[in-house]
Amino acid sequence: MDLYGKDFIVSQEWTKSQLDELLELAARMKRDRYSSRWTSILEHRTFFMFFYNPSVRTRQSFECAATELGGHAQFLEPKAMRLKTATTAGETIEDAAKVMARYACGLGIRILEDKVPHYGAGNELLREYAQWADIPILNMADDRFHPCQGMADVMGWAEWYGEGPGRPSYENLKGKNFLLTWASGALARSWCSVQEALLVASRFGMNVTISRPEGYDLDPEVYAWTHANCEANGRDFCVVDDPETGYDGAHVVYSRNWVTAGAYQDGEFQKKAEVEKAMAYPGWTTTAGRMARTDNAIFTHPMPIDRGSEVTDEVASGPRSAVYDVAENRLHVQKAVMALTMGNL
């Protein structure tokens, strides 16, 4: 399968076979991390990373990934360029994208909800770069999706239900129960990671339950895709509105705070108002007591974790926590994405 030159903006736009190929390579790269099979794949090539928002995992795992493939990852941020915006004169995306494509083998972009005037505008920006640049555009988290996180998530879950690190069983995830629960907190968090998790869990044959207070539904298109994925796999998709019952029989529990659909007003992200709204729902926290209702579930989170609000320390650092495995997998899946889309394989 030839993935060379392909953008990775949301997992739903890749076929299941393409995702399987990516994950299979990621597992081989994890088992044999520094093999000479991988260390020249990006030799002499540069991957640009364009960050509108901060990061721990994404920046560092992409930099390590490029190094381990024999290439280099270069950090860029908007203030280091002179780009045209809605309020300032400057260079168009068309010109910037076409020039960057003359230098680099690929371009990753992170742009989250607080840097855009309305929901979806970050994803639109990535697609505009993809329109003009004839190199792969990799989504490093926009306001809708976080596909590298989604791949790292499912690889981690499949390792826990498989034979351990680097030995995932995606077959064993089929028919397992995935709970995505909204969580309390004052961070007014993005939809990107949780939406990607819904797409991936449903795509890989899990039953999906979303638990959230009234008013905290996610993107209707993502619900429709998740529903369609579940239906195609003969699985269930349901939404509940209490912080307890979704845990019953769950195998994978994912808790995370996120904002409402009313997070923008007058072209601005209303963080303070979103934090105030969330304060009306204390106690949506993953605790050991709630985990006891599950079928010995693993706990997963894309990090950074809001400990004490989204999940207790006891669960986040407990024996069934997959959080560091998933974080590690960012490196392996991104090496695989870069190798397949821009590498010399």
Q: Cα–Cα distance between 280 and 184 in angstroms, integer?
A: 9
**Phi-psi domain of 271 (left: phi exceeds 0; alpha: psi -120 through 50; beta: other):** alpha
Q: How far is the CB of 82 from ligand CP (least distance, A)?
A: 26
Buried b (16+ CB within 10 A) or exposed e, 175-195: ebbbbbbbbbbebbbbbbbbb
Q: How far is the CB of 92 from ligand CP (least distance, A)?
A: 28
Strands (E) in 52-143, as ranges, are: 72-76, 106-110, 137-139
Q: How far is the CB of 68 from ligand CP (least distance, A)?
A: 18
Q: How far is the CB of 338 from ligand CP (least distance, A)?
A: 16
Q: Which is nearer to ligand CP, 22 or 101 (CB)?
A: 22
Q: Which is nearer to ligand CP, 76 or 303 (CB)?
A: 303
Q: How far is the CB of 295 from ligand CP (least distance, A)?
A: 26
Task: Report phi then psi at 74, rounded to 5.
Answer: -110, 130
Interface residues toward ligand CP, by CB under 6 A: 55-58, 141, 149, 302-304
* Cα angle value 227/233/238 (rounded, 5°): 35
Q: In this structure, what DSSP letter does residue 46 have?
A: E
Q: How far is the CB of 59 from ligand CP (least distance, A)?
A: 6
CA 199 to centroid of chain Cα atoms: 10
Strands (E) in 13-136, as ranges, are: 46-51, 72-76, 106-110
Burial of 93 (0-12, 13-18, 19+ CB in 10 A): middle
Q: Which is nearer to ligand CP, 97 or 112 (CB)?
A: 112
